[in-house]
Amino acid sequence: MFAYLDAGTGSYIIQLVIAGFLGGLFAIKLFWKKIGALLKRVFSRKREHDQPPE
Amino acid sequence: MTSLRSDVEVPGSFRDPSGFLFWRDGVLYRQVNAVYRDDYDLLIGSGLSGALVDDGLLIPHEEVDVEPARPELAYKILKPTPVPFVSYPYEWCFSQLKDAALTTLRVQKRALEFGMSLKDSSAYNVQFVGARPVLIDTLSFERYHEGRPWVAYRQFCQHFLAPLALMAHRDVRLGQLLRVYIDGIPLDLASSLLPLRTRFSSLLMHVHLHARSQKRFADKPVNLDKRRMSRLAFRGLIDSLESAVKRLRWRPHGTEWADYYDETNYSPEAFEHKKQIVSQLLDEAKPTSVWDLGGNVGVFSRLASDRGIGTVCFDVDPVAVERNYLRCRREERTNLLPLLLDLTNPSPGIGWANQERAPVQDRGRAHTLLALALVHHLAISNNVPLERIARLFSRLCDTLIVEFVPKTDSQVQRLLATREDIFPDYTQEGFEREFGRCFELRDSAAIPASHRTLHLMARRQEV
């Protein structure tokens, strides 16, 4: 690999500094997304059950 | 530099040693250099290229069997699908720049799924096909190495985040700084111009602290080999940038030009008449391409676009261009491109040797030019003699559809209200005489219920 752009030391370091915070935030976001999807599935299944048979 | 075949290398394509673009016999090719072989093979072999093309995020290309422009460096030659008109970030409205930023991040997210990453994130790598932004640089990808930070983070912040933040939080005209800074707005400058409230958002990290970090570590040797950035953190960074861009909003307020059609002296009937006459003249001209100068929100551009004619609509007003673009996006137009351009000071050649980014008139010409309700602004507000206006138009097109608005018209009266009338030649006769030097009159029509006239003209061959 070669990088033709100068990433810049400061731009590299700020990423390493905020990495933990952003990684954590993203993990929480993914977790809530999964919970949301799970709840959606449970409720949509329940609604299917609640519907009277045609 | 140039081979015997009279290939012409594209002047904006020299920074990345992975390859370059060149013209041969009117066809644009991209040479992939041997040094980029592994990454190119991964791009194709992993299926990333195909996935991005299917998603409309990357310009399609085909590998062709033609002689390379520089055989000693070559691995492959590609023939990319040409973009109808090349435009630059300082010619885009707020939402165009925002959509280009989001497209870049979408590409980056997709690339990560395939084990690759963008090695640059230049706004110049995005072009618009109508209202659809698309990445044009096939050589922007490299293998993702887990642990390494994003090499293009600085460039993304400078090319996209900083200008968008300045446009949203300070003044939309600050987007024009991109014309001065070819590699994006320096983050320390953006940080000093942004209001205090931006320190309470993710702009704190990506612009303000980023600028501080750049200043602190400038020219300091730091061993970064042992520091790692996990894949999760990398994805978090891209996600954070995406949220930051999405949160930036600019609501266009009324400006002199955006309310133009409400304030003109056209009655609804006269406006309809004008549209009918322009439509007839377009049918007569049979254009293959149209440039609408001073096109405002694109009412007349749409007459051409609806006829399937590729159209570029230029206007000086960021509000008008924004409205036009948002409407094009809603309509999913692929053949109408709204762009910001001040005709009295058009985009110049910038970058290395003033050739890296071409002046607007070097990026193509129109078969037919629409200049509607424009000449009086150029002649009277900007003191441009009619002869010079005609000469410029004749350089840009073969056929001209032009409106003449005489001094008796209330719009011209308004322009003359606060200044001395130093335009004795600004008359119907003067207009016909001066334009007659460059163009041959083909047809004219008076617009009912107004003093205005429309003319269809063909460029004289000897001009």
Domain boundaries, chain B: 8-36+59-80, 89-247, 260-459
CATH architecture of B260-459: 3-Layer(aba) Sandwich (3.40)
| Interface check B16 vs A, CB under 8 A | yes
* pLDDT attached to residue B264: 63
Secondary structure of residue B59 in the 3-state scheme = coil
Determine the Cα angle at B444 with ends B443 and B449, to 5°.
155
B363 Cβ partners below 8 Å, 6+ apart? B85, B86, B87
Query: CA B271 to CA B79: how far, in whole Å?
Result: 45
Compare CB distances from B150 to A9, A15, A26 and report the shortest one's residue: A15
Q: Say whether B111 sits in a helix, a strand or coil.
A: helix
Which residues are CB-neighbours of B414 under 8 A, at least 6 positions away? none
Q: Is A39 on the interface with B (CB under 8 A)?
A: no
A20 domain residue, yes or no: yes
Q: Kindly indicate whether the ipTM for this predicted assembly is greater than 0.85, answering yes or no.
A: no
Q: Are B68 and B31 in contact (CB under 8 A)?
A: yes
* Tokens, residue B147: 């642990």
Single-letter residue type at B2: T
CB pair distance less than 8 Å for A4 and B18 = yes
Question: Where do we find the tokens 């090719």?
Answer: B29
What is residue B110's predicted lDDT score, i.e. its pLDDT? 98
Note whether residue A30 is domain-resident: yes
Q: Is A52 on the interface with B (CB under 8 A)?
A: no
Can you list the alpha helix ranges (DSSP code H) found in chain A? Answer: 9-50
B255–A contact, CB cutoff 8 A: no
* A19 close contact with B: CB closer than 8 A: yes
Say if the Cβ atoms of B210 and A14 lie within 8 Å. yes
* Dihedral sign for Cα atoms in the order A29, B247, B153, B139: positive
**Within a domain: A5:** no
Q: Which pTM value belongs to this model?
A: 0.93
Indicate the pLDDT class of residue A8, thresholds 50, 70 and 90. Answer: confident
**Chain centroid to CA B150:** 26
Residues of A in contact with B229 (CB under 8 A): 15-16, 19
Residues of chain B with confidence (pLDDT) below 50:
1-3
Closest partner residue to A10 (CB to CB) among B217, B235, B240 is: B217
B251: which 2 tokens?
A: 């609501």
Which chain B positions have a beta carbon within 8 Å of A3's beta carbon? Answer: 119, 142, 151
* CB-based contact B359:B392 (threshold 8 Å): no
Provide the pLDDT for residue B280: 97
Distance from CA of A44 to the nearest CA of B (A): 29
Q: Which residues of A touch B214 (CB under 8 A)?
A: 8, 10-11, 14
Rounded-to-10 torsion of CA B123, B129, B131, B134: -40
Of B35, B155, B214, the CB nearest to A10: B214
Domain count of chain A?
A: 1
Long-range residue pairs from B268-273, CB within 8 A, at least 24 positions apart, any chain: B269/B448, B269/B449, B270/B447, B270/B448, B270/B449, B270/B450, B273/B447, B273/B448, B273/B449
Residue closest to B291 by CA, chosen among B120, B106, B87, B5: B87
Domain encompassing residue A40? 10-49
| Alpha carbon of A53: minimum distance to chain B alpha carbons (Å) | 40
Q: Tell me whether residues A12 and B149 touch, CB distance under 8 A.
A: yes
Please give the average per-residue pLDDT across A12-34, as a whole number: 93
- pLDDT confidence of residue B14: 87
Q: Is B204 on the interface with A (CB under 8 A)?
A: no
A54 within some domain: no
Residues of A in contact with B15 (CB under 8 A): 4
Q: Are B154 and A18 a contacting pair at CB < 8 A?
A: no
B155: which chain A residues are within 8 Å (Cβ-Cβ)?
5
Sign of CA dihedral B187, B159, B141, B332: positive
With CB atoms and an 8 Å threshold, state whether A15 touches B153.
Answer: yes
Q: Is residue A1 part of a domain?
A: no
